[in-house]
Amino acid sequence: MARLVIVSNRVSVPTGRRVEAGGLTVVLRDGLRKADGLWFGWSGDFAEQPGPAKVTTRGKMSYALLDLNQDDYKGFYYGFANGSLWPLFHYRLGLVDWKAESYRAYRKVNLQFASELIKLLKPDDQVWVHDYQLIPLGEELRKLGFTGTIGFYLHVPFPSGDIVEVLPAHVELGQAMLNYDLIGVQTDRAHHDMLDFLERWIGAEREGEDLLYAGRRVRTGVYRAAIDTLGFGKEAAVAVENEEVRSLEESLGGRTLMLGVERLDYTKGLPLRFAAYEHLLATHEDWLRKVIMLQIAPVSRGELAQYRALRSDLERATGRIAGRFASPDWNPIRYVNQPVPRKILSGYLRVAQVGLVTPLRDGMNLVAKEYVAAQDPQNPGVLVLSRFAGAVEELGEGALLVNPLDIERTAEAMRDALAMPIDERIDRWQRCMEPLRVWTARTWYDAFVHKLHEIADANSKLAHAA
Ligand code: ADP
Protein backbone atom coordinates (compact mmCIF):
# COMPACT_ATOMS: atom_id res chain seq x y z
CA MET A 1 0.00 0.00 0.00
CA ALA A 2 1.20 3.50 -0.80
CA ARG A 3 2.61 5.58 2.03
CA LEU A 4 0.55 8.50 3.33
CA VAL A 5 2.36 11.75 4.06
CA ILE A 6 0.61 14.40 6.10
CA VAL A 7 1.84 17.98 6.04
CA SER A 8 0.65 20.60 8.50
CA ASN A 9 2.13 23.75 9.96
CA ARG A 10 2.44 22.29 13.45
CA VAL A 11 3.14 18.66 14.20
CA SER A 12 2.53 17.10 17.54
CA VAL A 13 5.04 14.36 18.15
CA PRO A 14 3.84 12.16 21.01
CA THR A 15 6.28 12.55 23.89
CA GLY A 16 5.14 9.75 26.15
CA ARG A 17 3.82 12.35 28.59
CA ARG A 18 0.11 13.02 28.51
CA VAL A 19 -0.57 14.70 25.19
CA GLU A 20 -3.05 17.55 25.02
CA ALA A 21 -3.97 16.98 21.43
CA GLY A 22 -7.33 17.77 19.88
CA GLY A 23 -9.57 15.15 18.28
CA LEU A 24 -8.45 15.51 14.69
CA THR A 25 -4.76 15.35 15.60
CA VAL A 26 -5.32 12.03 17.31
CA VAL A 27 -7.29 10.64 14.38
CA LEU A 28 -4.63 11.70 11.90
CA ARG A 29 -1.93 10.12 14.02
CA ASP A 30 -3.83 6.85 14.42
CA GLY A 31 -4.49 6.69 10.70
CA LEU A 32 -0.88 7.46 9.83
CA ARG A 33 0.37 4.73 12.12
CA LYS A 34 -1.62 2.16 10.18
CA ALA A 35 -0.33 3.50 6.86
CA ASP A 36 3.35 3.50 8.00
CA GLY A 37 3.05 7.18 7.32
CA LEU A 38 5.13 10.31 7.59
CA TRP A 39 4.08 13.57 9.22
CA PHE A 40 5.95 16.65 8.04
CA GLY A 41 5.83 20.16 9.49
CA TRP A 42 7.41 22.90 11.54
CA SER A 43 9.37 21.79 14.62
CA GLY A 44 8.34 24.80 16.69
CA ASP A 45 12.02 25.89 16.75
CA PHE A 46 13.83 28.69 14.98
CA ALA A 47 17.21 28.70 13.25
CA GLU A 48 19.07 31.52 11.52
CA GLN A 49 19.79 29.27 8.51
CA PRO A 50 17.38 26.31 8.77
CA GLY A 51 18.80 22.97 7.62
CA PRO A 52 17.00 19.84 6.38
CA ALA A 53 14.07 18.37 8.31
CA LYS A 54 15.02 16.13 11.24
CA VAL A 55 13.36 12.75 11.05
CA THR A 56 12.32 10.83 14.16
CA THR A 57 10.62 7.49 14.14
CA ARG A 58 7.95 6.35 16.60
CA GLY A 59 6.98 2.75 15.96
CA LYS A 60 6.01 2.40 12.34
CA MET A 61 5.56 6.05 11.58
CA SER A 62 7.98 8.93 11.16
CA TYR A 63 7.93 12.62 11.89
CA ALA A 64 10.01 15.06 9.86
CA LEU A 65 10.43 18.40 11.58
CA LEU A 66 11.72 21.54 10.00
CA ASP A 67 13.13 24.61 11.77
CA LEU A 68 12.21 28.01 10.37
CA ASN A 69 13.90 31.37 10.33
CA GLN A 70 12.14 33.55 12.92
CA ASP A 71 11.57 36.54 10.63
CA ASP A 72 10.23 34.31 7.87
CA TYR A 73 7.91 32.67 10.37
CA LYS A 74 6.58 36.00 11.61
CA GLY A 75 5.75 37.10 8.07
CA PHE A 76 4.34 33.70 7.09
CA TYR A 77 2.30 32.90 10.19
CA TYR A 78 1.37 36.18 11.85
CA GLY A 79 1.74 38.46 8.84
CA PHE A 80 0.00 36.62 6.05
CA ALA A 81 -1.71 33.45 7.31
CA ASN A 82 -3.25 35.04 10.42
CA GLY A 83 -3.02 38.71 9.47
CA SER A 84 -4.65 38.34 6.02
CA LEU A 85 -6.05 34.91 5.25
CA TRP A 86 -7.65 34.21 8.63
CA PRO A 87 -9.73 37.42 8.78
CA LEU A 88 -10.51 37.24 5.05
CA PHE A 89 -11.71 33.63 5.17
CA HIS A 90 -13.83 34.57 8.20
CA TYR A 91 -15.49 37.46 6.30
CA ARG A 92 -13.70 40.20 8.29
CA LEU A 93 -12.50 42.44 5.50
CA GLY A 94 -11.78 45.35 7.84
CA LEU A 95 -9.22 43.28 9.71
CA VAL A 96 -7.24 42.14 6.65
CA ASP A 97 -3.72 43.51 7.03
CA TRP A 98 -2.24 42.92 3.58
CA LYS A 99 1.51 43.42 3.32
CA ALA A 100 3.41 42.33 0.22
CA GLU A 101 6.43 41.31 2.29
CA SER A 102 4.28 39.06 4.50
CA TYR A 103 2.90 37.36 1.42
CA ARG A 104 6.47 36.87 0.17
CA ALA A 105 7.39 35.27 3.51
CA TYR A 106 4.35 32.98 3.17
CA ARG A 107 5.48 31.86 -0.26
CA LYS A 108 9.07 31.48 0.95
CA VAL A 109 8.10 29.23 3.84
CA ASN A 110 5.85 27.15 1.59
CA LEU A 111 8.75 26.77 -0.85
CA GLN A 112 11.04 25.80 2.02
CA PHE A 113 8.52 23.17 3.17
CA ALA A 114 8.31 21.79 -0.38
CA SER A 115 12.09 21.82 -0.96
CA GLU A 116 12.74 19.82 2.20
CA LEU A 117 9.72 17.54 1.85
CA ILE A 118 10.58 16.56 -1.74
CA LYS A 119 13.86 15.05 -0.48
CA LEU A 120 11.83 12.60 1.60
CA LEU A 121 9.12 11.75 -0.91
CA LYS A 122 8.85 8.56 -2.94
CA PRO A 123 7.09 8.77 -6.31
CA ASP A 124 4.00 6.82 -5.22
CA ASP A 125 3.54 8.60 -1.88
CA GLN A 126 0.13 10.16 -1.33
CA VAL A 127 0.41 13.58 0.26
CA TRP A 128 -2.30 15.23 2.35
CA VAL A 129 -1.69 18.95 2.98
CA HIS A 130 -3.57 20.73 5.77
CA ASP A 131 -5.01 24.18 5.98
CA TYR A 132 -4.70 27.80 4.97
CA GLN A 133 -1.06 28.15 6.06
CA LEU A 134 -0.02 25.80 3.25
CA ILE A 135 -2.22 26.58 0.23
CA PRO A 136 0.72 26.92 -2.24
CA LEU A 137 2.56 23.81 -1.03
CA GLY A 138 1.11 21.52 -3.72
CA GLU A 139 2.12 23.94 -6.47
CA GLU A 140 5.67 24.16 -5.10
CA LEU A 141 5.91 20.35 -4.98
CA ARG A 142 4.72 20.18 -8.59
CA LYS A 143 7.33 22.74 -9.64
CA LEU A 144 9.96 20.58 -7.99
CA GLY A 145 8.80 17.61 -10.06
CA PHE A 146 6.53 15.62 -7.74
CA THR A 147 3.86 13.85 -9.82
CA GLY A 148 2.21 11.75 -7.09
CA THR A 149 -1.25 12.37 -5.68
CA ILE A 150 -1.68 15.44 -3.46
CA GLY A 151 -4.79 16.33 -1.50
CA PHE A 152 -5.56 19.54 0.36
CA TYR A 153 -7.98 20.05 3.22
CA LEU A 154 -9.18 23.45 4.39
CA HIS A 155 -10.07 23.66 8.10
CA VAL A 156 -11.52 27.18 7.85
CA PRO A 157 -14.47 28.61 5.89
CA PHE A 158 -14.12 29.43 2.21
CA PRO A 159 -15.91 32.74 1.62
CA SER A 160 -17.60 33.94 -1.54
CA GLY A 161 -15.41 34.96 -4.49
CA ASP A 162 -16.33 38.63 -3.96
CA ILE A 163 -14.49 38.46 -0.67
CA VAL A 164 -11.52 36.36 -1.80
CA GLU A 165 -11.04 38.82 -4.65
CA VAL A 166 -10.10 41.53 -2.16
CA LEU A 167 -6.81 39.77 -1.56
CA PRO A 168 -4.23 41.07 -4.05
CA ALA A 169 -2.81 37.54 -4.35
CA HIS A 170 -6.18 35.83 -4.99
CA VAL A 171 -5.34 34.73 -8.53
CA GLU A 172 -1.99 33.24 -7.54
CA LEU A 173 -3.57 31.38 -4.64
CA GLY A 174 -6.48 30.17 -6.76
CA GLN A 175 -4.10 28.87 -9.40
CA ALA A 176 -1.99 27.25 -6.70
CA MET A 177 -5.07 25.39 -5.41
CA LEU A 178 -5.62 23.89 -8.83
CA ASN A 179 -2.36 21.93 -8.52
CA TYR A 180 -3.99 19.54 -6.05
CA ASP A 181 -5.70 16.32 -7.09
CA LEU A 182 -8.31 16.63 -4.35
CA ILE A 183 -9.56 19.60 -2.34
CA GLY A 184 -11.73 18.96 0.71
CA VAL A 185 -13.73 21.58 2.60
CA GLN A 186 -15.96 21.42 5.65
CA THR A 187 -19.40 22.49 4.49
CA ASP A 188 -21.72 22.61 1.48
CA ARG A 189 -21.55 26.37 1.66
CA ALA A 190 -17.72 26.47 1.53
CA HIS A 191 -17.82 23.93 -1.30
CA HIS A 192 -20.26 25.97 -3.34
CA ASP A 193 -18.28 29.18 -2.86
CA MET A 194 -14.93 27.56 -3.58
CA LEU A 195 -16.13 25.95 -6.82
CA ASP A 196 -17.64 29.26 -7.87
CA PHE A 197 -14.42 31.15 -7.12
CA LEU A 198 -12.19 28.70 -8.96
CA GLU A 199 -14.53 28.67 -11.94
CA ARG A 200 -15.40 32.36 -12.28
CA TRP A 201 -12.31 34.09 -10.98
CA ILE A 202 -9.59 31.62 -11.96
CA GLY A 203 -11.12 30.13 -15.08
CA ALA A 204 -11.29 26.43 -14.20
CA GLU A 205 -13.88 24.41 -16.13
CA ARG A 206 -16.56 22.73 -14.00
CA GLU A 207 -17.51 19.10 -14.54
CA GLY A 208 -19.87 18.19 -11.71
CA GLU A 209 -17.73 18.52 -8.61
CA ASP A 210 -14.49 18.27 -10.59
CA LEU A 211 -12.52 21.19 -11.92
CA LEU A 212 -10.42 21.01 -15.08
CA TYR A 213 -7.50 23.38 -15.34
CA ALA A 214 -4.19 23.39 -17.21
CA GLY A 215 -4.55 19.73 -18.18
CA ARG A 216 -5.26 18.61 -14.63
CA ARG A 217 -8.45 17.22 -13.07
CA VAL A 218 -9.06 18.47 -9.53
CA ARG A 219 -11.61 16.55 -7.50
CA THR A 220 -13.41 18.42 -4.77
CA GLY A 221 -15.73 17.39 -1.98
CA VAL A 222 -17.27 18.11 1.42
CA TYR A 223 -15.58 16.30 4.30
CA ARG A 224 -17.12 17.60 7.52
CA ALA A 225 -14.62 17.85 10.36
CA ALA A 226 -15.92 15.67 13.15
CA ILE A 227 -15.24 14.19 16.56
CA ASP A 228 -15.13 10.74 18.14
CA THR A 229 -18.75 11.14 19.21
CA LEU A 230 -19.24 8.03 21.32
CA GLY A 231 -15.72 8.16 22.75
CA PHE A 232 -16.19 11.77 23.81
CA GLY A 233 -19.56 10.96 25.37
CA LYS A 234 -18.07 8.09 27.38
CA GLU A 235 -15.20 10.31 28.48
CA ALA A 236 -17.69 12.95 29.65
CA ALA A 237 -19.73 10.40 31.63
CA VAL A 238 -16.58 9.35 33.48
CA ALA A 239 -15.28 12.90 33.85
CA VAL A 240 -18.23 14.04 35.97
CA GLU A 241 -16.74 11.95 38.78
CA ASN A 242 -13.47 13.83 38.45
CA GLU A 243 -12.55 16.03 41.41
CA GLU A 244 -12.26 19.24 39.37
CA VAL A 245 -15.59 18.69 37.64
CA ARG A 246 -17.28 17.96 40.96
CA SER A 247 -15.72 21.03 42.43
CA LEU A 248 -17.19 23.16 39.61
CA GLU A 249 -20.58 21.56 40.12
CA GLU A 250 -20.50 22.13 43.89
CA SER A 251 -19.45 25.73 43.41
CA LEU A 252 -22.64 26.38 41.44
CA GLY A 253 -24.74 25.86 44.56
CA GLY A 254 -27.65 24.49 42.53
CA ARG A 255 -27.56 27.32 39.98
CA THR A 256 -27.80 26.68 36.27
CA LEU A 257 -24.56 26.77 34.27
CA MET A 258 -24.19 28.23 30.80
CA LEU A 259 -20.79 27.41 29.32
CA GLY A 260 -18.70 28.75 26.45
CA VAL A 261 -15.32 27.24 25.54
CA GLU A 262 -13.04 28.47 22.80
CA ARG A 263 -9.71 30.01 21.92
CA LEU A 264 -9.72 33.75 22.49
CA ASP A 265 -10.39 34.72 18.88
CA TYR A 266 -12.39 37.54 17.32
CA THR A 267 -14.25 35.07 15.12
CA LYS A 268 -15.87 33.46 18.16
CA GLY A 269 -18.23 36.36 18.89
CA LEU A 270 -17.37 36.62 22.58
CA PRO A 271 -18.05 40.34 23.22
CA LEU A 272 -21.51 39.95 21.64
CA ARG A 273 -22.15 36.82 23.69
CA PHE A 274 -21.26 38.69 26.86
CA ALA A 275 -23.56 41.53 25.77
CA ALA A 276 -26.40 39.06 25.16
CA TYR A 277 -25.91 37.60 28.62
CA GLU A 278 -25.93 41.08 30.10
CA HIS A 279 -29.19 41.76 28.25
CA LEU A 280 -30.66 38.53 29.59
CA LEU A 281 -29.88 39.54 33.16
CA ALA A 282 -31.22 43.04 32.58
CA THR A 283 -34.51 41.86 31.08
CA HIS A 284 -35.23 38.65 33.03
CA GLU A 285 -35.01 39.41 36.70
CA ASP A 286 -36.35 35.94 37.49
CA TRP A 287 -32.99 34.54 36.38
CA LEU A 288 -30.92 36.77 38.66
CA ARG A 289 -29.03 34.66 41.22
CA LYS A 290 -30.15 31.47 39.41
CA VAL A 291 -27.67 31.34 36.54
CA ILE A 292 -23.91 31.48 36.09
CA MET A 293 -22.11 31.93 32.80
CA LEU A 294 -18.65 30.39 32.61
CA GLN A 295 -16.47 31.40 29.70
CA ILE A 296 -13.25 29.45 29.21
CA ALA A 297 -11.07 31.17 26.63
CA PRO A 298 -7.32 30.49 26.60
CA VAL A 299 -5.26 33.22 25.01
CA SER A 300 -4.24 32.57 21.42
CA ARG A 301 -2.11 34.52 18.92
CA GLY A 302 -1.34 37.10 21.60
CA GLU A 303 1.34 38.55 19.30
CA LEU A 304 -1.38 40.17 17.18
CA ALA A 305 -2.83 43.48 18.37
CA GLN A 306 -6.42 42.50 17.52
CA TYR A 307 -6.20 39.54 19.89
CA ARG A 308 -4.80 41.67 22.70
CA ALA A 309 -7.58 44.23 22.20
CA LEU A 310 -10.18 41.47 22.39
CA ARG A 311 -8.74 40.30 25.67
CA SER A 312 -9.05 43.76 27.23
CA ASP A 313 -12.61 44.13 25.90
CA LEU A 314 -13.66 40.91 27.56
CA GLU A 315 -11.98 41.78 30.83
CA ARG A 316 -13.90 45.05 30.85
CA ALA A 317 -17.18 43.35 29.97
CA THR A 318 -16.68 40.76 32.73
CA GLY A 319 -16.11 43.55 35.26
CA ARG A 320 -19.11 45.48 33.99
CA ILE A 321 -21.50 42.52 34.20
CA ALA A 322 -20.27 41.58 37.67
CA GLY A 323 -20.43 45.21 38.84
CA ARG A 324 -23.95 45.62 37.52
CA PHE A 325 -25.57 42.41 38.76
CA ALA A 326 -23.45 40.56 41.34
CA SER A 327 -24.53 40.21 44.96
CA PRO A 328 -22.24 39.26 47.88
CA ASP A 329 -23.02 35.57 47.42
CA TRP A 330 -23.48 35.40 43.64
CA ASN A 331 -21.30 36.35 40.72
CA PRO A 332 -23.14 35.95 37.40
CA ILE A 333 -20.02 35.53 35.30
CA ARG A 334 -16.77 33.59 35.49
CA TYR A 335 -14.09 34.19 32.91
CA VAL A 336 -11.11 31.84 32.73
CA ASN A 337 -8.10 32.35 30.46
CA GLN A 338 -6.47 28.96 31.05
CA PRO A 339 -6.78 25.93 28.77
CA VAL A 340 -8.50 22.98 30.40
CA PRO A 341 -7.36 19.36 29.93
CA ARG A 342 -9.67 17.63 27.44
CA LYS A 343 -10.94 15.04 29.89
CA ILE A 344 -12.01 17.66 32.38
CA LEU A 345 -13.46 19.82 29.64
CA SER A 346 -15.78 16.98 28.59
CA GLY A 347 -17.09 16.86 32.19
CA TYR A 348 -17.65 20.62 32.28
CA LEU A 349 -19.61 20.38 29.02
CA ARG A 350 -21.80 17.67 30.51
CA VAL A 351 -22.49 19.66 33.66
CA ALA A 352 -23.54 22.77 31.67
CA GLN A 353 -27.29 22.96 31.03
CA VAL A 354 -26.66 25.37 28.18
CA GLY A 355 -23.79 25.30 25.68
CA LEU A 356 -23.03 28.64 24.04
CA VAL A 357 -21.43 28.43 20.60
CA THR A 358 -22.02 31.78 18.93
CA PRO A 359 -19.18 32.55 16.50
CA LEU A 360 -19.49 35.32 13.94
CA ARG A 361 -18.08 32.81 11.48
CA ASP A 362 -16.56 29.37 11.94
CA GLY A 363 -15.48 26.72 9.43
CA MET A 364 -17.11 23.99 11.51
CA ASN A 365 -16.78 24.46 15.28
CA LEU A 366 -15.97 21.21 17.00
CA VAL A 367 -16.95 22.50 20.43
CA ALA A 368 -20.59 22.50 19.27
CA LYS A 369 -20.27 18.79 18.47
CA GLU A 370 -18.38 18.06 21.68
CA TYR A 371 -21.11 19.77 23.71
CA VAL A 372 -23.78 17.56 22.14
CA ALA A 373 -21.70 14.39 22.49
CA ALA A 374 -20.98 15.11 26.17
CA GLN A 375 -24.64 15.31 27.28
CA ASP A 376 -26.44 12.88 29.54
CA PRO A 377 -29.08 11.26 27.27
CA GLN A 378 -31.62 11.25 30.16
CA ASN A 379 -31.08 14.91 30.98
CA PRO A 380 -29.37 16.67 28.10
CA GLY A 381 -28.55 20.36 27.95
CA VAL A 382 -29.41 22.74 25.13
CA LEU A 383 -27.04 24.06 22.48
CA VAL A 384 -27.37 27.71 21.47
CA LEU A 385 -25.65 27.82 18.09
CA SER A 386 -24.74 30.58 15.66
CA ARG A 387 -26.14 30.33 12.14
CA PHE A 388 -22.64 31.17 10.95
CA ALA A 389 -20.89 28.08 12.32
CA GLY A 390 -20.32 25.28 9.80
CA ALA A 391 -21.78 22.85 12.35
CA VAL A 392 -25.20 24.35 11.65
CA GLU A 393 -25.47 22.14 8.56
CA GLU A 394 -25.59 19.12 10.89
CA LEU A 395 -26.97 20.55 14.15
CA GLY A 396 -29.45 23.07 12.75
CA GLU A 397 -32.45 20.81 13.49
CA GLY A 398 -31.80 20.41 17.19
CA ALA A 399 -29.94 23.50 18.36
CA LEU A 400 -31.44 26.92 19.10
CA LEU A 401 -30.09 29.01 16.24
CA VAL A 402 -29.06 32.62 16.66
CA ASN A 403 -27.51 35.45 14.74
CA PRO A 404 -24.85 36.57 17.25
CA LEU A 405 -25.18 40.19 16.11
CA ASP A 406 -28.78 40.16 17.31
CA ILE A 407 -28.12 40.60 21.01
CA GLU A 408 -31.76 40.73 22.07
CA ARG A 409 -32.76 37.54 20.26
CA THR A 410 -29.62 35.76 21.45
CA ALA A 411 -30.61 36.70 25.00
CA GLU A 412 -34.09 35.25 24.32
CA ALA A 413 -32.53 32.04 23.01
CA MET A 414 -30.46 31.81 26.20
CA ARG A 415 -33.65 32.21 28.23
CA ASP A 416 -35.50 29.61 26.15
CA ALA A 417 -32.59 27.21 26.63
CA LEU A 418 -32.52 27.80 30.39
CA ALA A 419 -36.27 27.23 30.72
CA MET A 420 -36.69 24.39 28.22
CA PRO A 421 -38.75 21.43 29.46
CA ILE A 422 -37.12 18.02 29.54
CA ASP A 423 -39.14 16.48 26.66
CA GLU A 424 -38.07 19.18 24.25
CA ARG A 425 -34.48 18.99 25.44
CA ILE A 426 -34.37 15.26 24.77
CA ASP A 427 -36.02 15.65 21.39
CA ARG A 428 -33.62 18.38 20.29
CA TRP A 429 -30.58 16.53 21.62
CA GLN A 430 -31.54 13.38 19.72
CA ARG A 431 -31.84 15.37 16.52
CA CYS A 432 -28.36 16.78 17.08
CA MET A 433 -26.89 13.38 17.87
CA GLU A 434 -28.22 11.61 14.78
CA PRO A 435 -25.69 12.97 12.25
CA LEU A 436 -22.87 12.91 14.80
CA ARG A 437 -23.30 9.18 15.42
CA VAL A 438 -22.93 8.42 11.72
CA TRP A 439 -20.22 10.87 10.72
CA THR A 440 -17.24 10.84 13.09
CA ALA A 441 -13.60 11.85 12.99
CA ARG A 442 -12.85 8.31 11.82
CA THR A 443 -15.27 8.46 8.89
CA TRP A 444 -13.90 11.91 8.00
CA TYR A 445 -10.36 10.53 7.84
CA ASP A 446 -11.31 7.33 6.01
CA ALA A 447 -13.39 9.17 3.41
CA PHE A 448 -10.62 11.61 2.52
CA VAL A 449 -7.86 9.01 2.43
CA HIS A 450 -10.04 6.59 0.47
CA LYS A 451 -10.65 9.28 -2.14
CA LEU A 452 -6.90 9.97 -2.35
CA HIS A 453 -6.24 6.25 -2.98
CA GLU A 454 -8.95 6.15 -5.61
CA ILE A 455 -7.46 9.14 -7.43
CA ALA A 456 -3.95 7.67 -7.22
CA ASP A 457 -5.26 4.43 -8.80
CA ALA A 458 -7.06 6.30 -11.55
CA ASN A 459 -3.99 8.45 -12.26
CA SER A 460 -1.66 5.47 -12.43
CA LYS A 461 -4.03 3.68 -14.86
CA LEU A 462 -4.07 6.80 -17.02
CA ALA A 463 -0.28 6.97 -16.92
CA HIS A 464 0.02 3.32 -17.98
CA ALA A 465 -2.48 3.77 -20.80
CA ALA A 466 -0.60 6.80 -22.14
P1 ADP B 1 -10.82 26.31 16.46
O2 ADP B 1 -10.19 25.23 15.60
O3 ADP B 1 -11.13 27.58 15.72
O4 ADP B 1 -10.04 26.59 17.71
P5 ADP B 1 -12.91 24.31 17.04
O6 ADP B 1 -14.11 24.48 17.91
O7 ADP B 1 -13.19 23.73 15.71
O8 ADP B 1 -12.23 25.76 16.95
O9 ADP B 1 -11.85 23.37 17.75
C10 ADP B 1 -11.34 23.72 18.99
C11 ADP B 1 -10.82 22.48 19.75
O12 ADP B 1 -10.03 22.94 20.84
C13 ADP B 1 -11.94 21.64 20.34
O14 ADP B 1 -11.62 20.28 20.24
C15 ADP B 1 -12.01 22.11 21.79
O16 ADP B 1 -12.41 21.13 22.71
C17 ADP B 1 -10.58 22.53 22.08
N18 ADP B 1 -10.60 23.66 23.03
C19 ADP B 1 -11.16 24.85 22.85
N20 ADP B 1 -11.02 25.63 23.96
C21 ADP B 1 -10.37 24.88 24.86
C22 ADP B 1 -9.94 25.09 26.20
N23 ADP B 1 -10.20 26.21 26.85
N24 ADP B 1 -9.27 24.09 26.80
C25 ADP B 1 -9.05 22.95 26.15
N26 ADP B 1 -9.44 22.68 24.91
C27 ADP B 1 -10.10 23.63 24.27
Q: Go through 81-119 and write b for each residue having 16 or more CB atoms within 10 A of its CB, e for each that does not.
A: bbbbbbbbbbebeebbeeeeebbbbbbebbbbbbebbee
Work out the pLDDT band at 22, boundaries 50, 70, 90: low
The rounded Å distance from CA 278 to ligand 1 centre is 24
- Tell me the per-residue pLDDT of 166-182, one tens digit each, with 9 for 90 and over: 999 999 999 999 999 99
Reduced to 3 states (helix: H, G, I; strand: E, B; else coil), residue 331 is coil
Sheet with 4-10, strands from edge to edge, namely: 54-58, 61-68, 38-46, 4-10, 126-130, 149-153, 182-185, 216-222, 210-213, 205-207
- Of residues 90, 130, 155, 191, which has the active-site annotation? 155
User: Does residue 362 have an active-site annotation?
Assistant: yes
pLDDT tens across 340-361, in order?
Answer: 998 899 999 999 999 999 999 9
pLDDT for the residue numbered 16:
60
Q: Give the number of other CB atoms < 10 A from CB of residue 73.
A: 18
Q: How far is the CA of 233 from the centre of ligand 1 (A)?
A: 16
pLDDT in tens, 53-77: 999 998 889 999 999 999 999 999 9
Q: Which domains does the chain have, with CATH numbers?
A: 4-226+441-457 (3.40.50.2000), 229-438 (3.40.50.2000)
User: Across the strands, what pairs with 400?
Assistant: 384
The pLDDT-based confidence of 20 (bands split at 50, 70, 90) is low
d(CA 7, CA 129): 5
Q: Which of 364, 462, 460 is nearest to 149 (CA)?
A: 460
Q: Average pLDDT for residues 148-165, to the nearest whole number?
A: 98
Tell me which residues have their CB closer than 6 angstroms to ligand 1. 22-23, 261-263, 296, 298, 339-340, 345, 364-367, 370
Q: What is the pLDDT of residues 412-436, one digit of tens each?
A: 999 999 999 999 999 999 999 999 9
Q: Is the pLDDT of residue 18 over 80?
A: no
Q: Which of 125, 181, 228, 362 is catalytic?
A: 362
Which of the listed residues 366, 385, 388 should we mutate to test ligand 1's pocket, taking the one with most ligand atoms within 8 A of CB?
A: 366
pLDDT of 393 higher than 60? yes
Catalytic residue check, 313? no
> Is pLDDT of 139 > 50?
yes
CA 167–ligand 1 middle distance (angstroms): 28
Instruction: Give the pLDDT score at 17.
Output: 54
Model pLDDT, residue 19: 46
**Residue 341 C-alpha to ligand 1 middle, in angstroms?**
11
Q: What proportion of the chain, given as a percentage, has pLDDT over 70?
A: 98
Pocket test for ligand 1, best of 20, 261, 264 (most atoms within 8 A of CB): 261
Q: What is the pLDDT of residue 32?
A: 83
Q: What is the DSSP letter of 315?
A: H
What average pLDDT score do residues 215-232 get?
A: 96
Say which amino acid occupies 292.
Answer: I
Residue nearest to atom 2 of ligand 1 (CA): 365
